[in-house]
Chain A
Amino acid sequence: MKLSCEVNVHHLTRVEGHGNIHISIKNGVVKKAQWEVVETPRFFEAMLVGKHWENAPYVCGRICGICSIGHTLASIRAVENAFGITPSTQTANLRLLLKHMETLQSHILHLYFLAAPDFLGAGSVLPLATTHPEVVQRALRLKLLANDACDIIGGRRLHPTRTVVGGFTMLPEKGALEKIRQRLLASVPDLLASAELFKTFAIPDFSRETEFVSLKGDTGYPFIGGGLVSTDGVVKKEHQYRAMTNEYCQKGFTSKLSKLSRPSFAVGALARLNNNFTKLHPTAREISKFLGLVPVNHNPYMGNVAQLVECVQVVLDSVQLIDTLLGSPWQEARQPVKAKKGEGVGAVEVPRGILYHYYKFDKEGKVIKADCVIPTSQNHANILHDIEALAGQYAKTGKQDREIELLAEMLVRAYDPCISCSVH
């Protein structure tokens, strides 16, 4: 039986950013199992120093090309918390709706374009357009809906234009929101078909006990602000994010890493779902059960399934949000902003997990200190430990190098890492 294996993946494909995987097994013993992050740092926290507060959301939204809306909202929340601004109910609802549509867009992109090709035996989504046209068309329909909604609410799907401290520069047309509502309702069959498709996928049998960190929902499934929680029982307030993330640097990573009760923890859809399962919409919860996902689930590959469940969650919640928004006349789009000395934290659940922005301002509202803790940087150490455990599990099974390589690649992809974001 084959008991040795060499896997060296340089710049893993179908993930955002640059990471490498190295696995070396000799005679059934794991000699090396590494996850390396080689992305170039861009120094966003330094860039902002000395800058007026309005630069923060504008510049920091550009940390990420996939979840720019989430970054912008986290940044805005941090500034508003620092200045003591409470967004109006209308602003809060519009922001959550915008956030939902980004979540849908990002999850569909990951599930269909980045993850699904592995389960369907393809190298990318391109051949699937020929072999599985209905699957690709469905993905494009869902993604288009989400992106159109982001355009209507945020002004632009990538690096949004209307989102500002204090509210929005402009409000959407009510008729446009009504059309989005109809399209959301019409998308439910596509989501159910997605669930049927993912039910057929062979999720690798692997599990490693993990601490999961996310926002804790008081009333609903949480996305913007609130308390922090872990499955190991750690509970913190939003402004105590540093005690929840404990960032450190390590050789082999240009990104920072995080730990909490154990040497590593996980954030993301699976963490949110593990911590807030009872807060899901009943339909989303049923689909979760249908796909075999019940908390606390320790199989990282189930991150894909958790994202799919969240697609259902955000679509159904968005319909309710639009009903609320359409049910009353538009109020002021934007409230005045008065800068003051102080500091603020904004915690937002972006597609890949909990994101924190922190700023400290002087009395003129200029940035003295900035800090952004990214979901994928919180996940890196956990990915590393998962790869070690995965290599250990398959060390004596006689699998071919390519099989172990694919399992490792799929494992990293299941975290939907946003590596350039994590290094920022």
Chain B
Amino acid sequence: MSEPLSYLGVPLARPKVGFFELSSCEGCQLQLLNNEATLLDFLNLVEIVNFREGMSERGDNYDIAFVEGSVTRKDEIARLTAIRKHAKILVALGSCACFGGVNQLKNRFRDLEWVKKEVYDDFPIETMEVHPLADFVQVDLEIFGCPIKKEEVERIVTDLVLGKTVRHPEYPVCMECKANENICLFELGEPCLGPITRAGCDAWCTSNRRGCWGCRGPAEGANLKQLEEIMRTYGFARETILDRLECFGGFASFADTLRPKAKKSPVTQKATAGRKKS
């Protein structure tokens, strides 16, 4: 596992990496272990110095920090700031880190006290409005997805090690879905955000006949008006689009424009969500 690395004859440094999690299901980190066929090769690329979920040793001497999860409690801001201080490159790993993820669904409610009471009754519990990492620290690279796609992470990490520029596809999932020769889900009666969601997942859900819920956030120049029209043509309720747009936080500003127009919404819901950018 420790022979020197080289690429095209040029010796490469093996970067020290750390994995960290804030509020999350820790699934994105597990996706890395879920990579049995190439796991050992992948581990050869980097030196892991901090990975609480997988190892006992802990070090702060990492070059690259992968941070999963969103910020939902004050102490997480301090943890995140400390990680930022140690890391040369901070990577937001997965939709929770990039956009708030499913966690930010609780931001729909105006009254945080109601949210607490709904789950914990009167037991005192600390929480706050959910934020993505970039609301508190500089994020150098975002890896989208709920969950992240392991092949994509491996490619990105390889690019980082080789010093290449990391690029995300600008086109939508729809393109990948068409390239996979799938029947369009609209034709099968299934709502889908494929036309406006950033590609890179190889149409993971839609190739399994599951409509896209937009976990990777908007593609460049995503056209919400057009999507609304398609959805209307196929007879889907505005609320069906809203459920998907607001699920992971990547389309927060889009969801905001739709929310006040929704036919029915619980009285406790906000007119606008907390997050402004998308």
Write the residues of chain A forming the contact surface with B, with a CB cutoff of 8 angstroms.
Answer: 11, 13-17, 40-47, 49-52, 54-55, 58-59, 62-66, 68, 109, 113-114, 117, 123-126, 129-130, 136, 140-141, 143-144, 147, 155-159, 161-162, 164, 169-170, 249, 254, 256, 420-421
What 0/1 pattern do residues 91 to 108 of B give for CB contact below 8 A with A?
A: 000000000011101101
Bound-state Cα–Cα, A13 to B21, Å: 12
Q: Which residues of A contact B26 (CB under 8 A)?
A: 16-17, 65-66, 420
B274 within 8 A of A: no
Q: Which residues of A contact B54 (CB under 8 A)?
A: 13-14, 113-114, 124-126
Q: Which residue in chain A gives the minimum CB-CB distance to B191?
A: A54
Name the residue among A44, A50, A114, A117 with the largest chain B CB count within 10 angstroms: A50
A41 to B243, CA, bound (A): 22
With a CB–CB cut-off of 8 A, which chain B residues contact A136? 40
Name the A residues within 8 Å of B147 (CB-CB). 65, 156, 158-159
Q: How many residues of B contact A (CB 8 A)?
A: 64
In the complex, which of the residues B36, B76, B120, B265 contacts A144, with contact meaning CB atoms closer than 8 Å? B36
B8 part of interface (Cβ distance < 8 Å): no
B105 surroundings in chain A (CB, below 8 A): 47, 59
Q: How far is the CB of A40 from chain B (nearest CB, A)?
A: 4
- How far in angstroms is the closest Cβ of chain A from B67? 14
Closest Cβ of chain A to B1, distance in Å, is 6
Answer whether A59 and B43 are a contact pair too, CB < 8 Å, given A13-B56, A66-B27, A254-B125: no
Chain B residue with Cβ nearest A124: B55
Central interface residue in A42, A45, A113, A159, by most chain B CB within 10 Å: A42
CB pair B31 A41 closer than 8 Å: no
Question: By the criterion CB–CB under 8 Å, are B22 and A40 in contact?
Answer: yes
Nearest Cβ distance between residue B247 and chain A, in whole angstroms? 7
Q: Pick from B118, B127, B209: contact of A40, CB below 8 A.
A: B127
In whole angstroms, how far apart are the Cα atoms of A76 and B53 in the complex? 29
| Residue among A40, A54, A159, A254 having the largest count of chain B Cβ atoms under 10 Å | A40
Report the nearest B residue to A143, measured CB to CB. B36
Interface-centre pick from A13, A54, A140, A256 (highest chain B CB count, 10 A): A13
Q: Is there an interface contact between A51 and B115, defined as CB atoms closer than 8 Å?
A: no
Chain A neighbourhood of B55, CB < 8 A: 13-14, 117, 123-126
Across chains A and B, which 7 residue pairs bring their CB atoms closest together, nearest first? Answer: A65-B27, A124-B55, A155-B208, A50-B266, A144-B36, A249-B123, A123-B56
Give A113 to B114 CA distance when docked, in angstroms: 40
CA distance A127 to B39 in the complex (A): 14
A47 touches B209 (CB 8 A): no
Closest B residue to A164 by CB, please name it: B210
**B171: which A residues are within 8 A, CB to CB?**
none
**Whole-angstrom CA separation of A170 from B24 in the bound complex:** 29
Q: Are B53 and A16 in contact (CB under 8 A)?
A: yes
* B146 / chain A contacts, CB cutoff of 8 Å: 62, 159
Q: Once bound together, how far apart are the Cα atoms of A58 and B29, in whole Å?
A: 20
Q: How far is the CA of A256 from the CA of B119 in the complex (A)?
A: 10
